[in-house]
């Protein structure tokens, strides 16, 4: 069964810590995405990547960075965690632009991050 795996289901970090959220997909997808999900706000795109070592800012990139050294792995980095980054983080992947990518994304099961 193909899947997107997020390394942690729950995470608690302290303010100011550097936080890494890891995401791995086994579907050989070119595109990978990081969203954050907050009540009443839906899912908002933080960063995405359409190839190894490539990254593009989404709608809310401030306070975040990403790394994609291998095709299957896309990491979200909180350089200095703050309490307003407490949220659910969802990773997703899809095939390359156009064509089959229009069949939507495959999502991980989310990481609920609490920053105290």
Partner 1 sequence: AQTVTQSQPEMSVQEAETVTLSCTYDTSESNYYLFWYKQPPSRQMILVIRQEAYKQQNATENRFSVNFQKAAKSFSLKISDSQLGDTAMYFCAFMNGANSKLTFGKGITLSVRP
Q: Using the rule CB under 8 A, is 104 a contact of partner 1?
A: yes
Smallest gap from Cβ 46 to partner 1, in A, equals 12
22 CB-near residues (< 8 Å, 6+ apart): 6, 7, 8, 73, 75
- Tell me which stretch binds partner 1 (CB under 8 A): 18-26, 64-72, 73-81, 88-96: 88-96
Does position 24 interact with partner 1 (CB under 8 A)? The reply is: no
Burial class (CB in 10 A: 0-12, 13-18, 19+), 90: buried
Rounded least distance, CB 28 to partner 1, Å: 16
Comparison of 39 and 84: residue with beta carbon closer to partner 1: 39
Q: Of 18-26, 44-52, 65-73, 75-83, which segment contacts partner 1 by CB under 8 A?
A: 44-52
Tokens standing for 113? 């991050």
């Amino acid at each position: 069964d193909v899947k997107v795996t997020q390394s942690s289901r729950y995470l608690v970090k302290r303010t100011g810590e550097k936080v890494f959220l890891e995401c791995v997909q086994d579907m050989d997808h070119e595109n990978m995405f990081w969203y954050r999900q907050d009540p009443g706000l839906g899912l908002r795109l933080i960063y995405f990547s359409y190839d190894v070592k490539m990254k593009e800012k989404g709608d809310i990139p401030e306070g975040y960075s990403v790394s994609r050294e291998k095709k299957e792995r896309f990491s979200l980095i909180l350089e200095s965690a703050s309490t307003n980054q407490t949220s659910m983080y969802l990773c997703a992947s899809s095939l390359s632009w156009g064509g089959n990518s229009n069949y939507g994304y495959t999502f991980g099961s989310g990481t609920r991050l609490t920053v105290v």
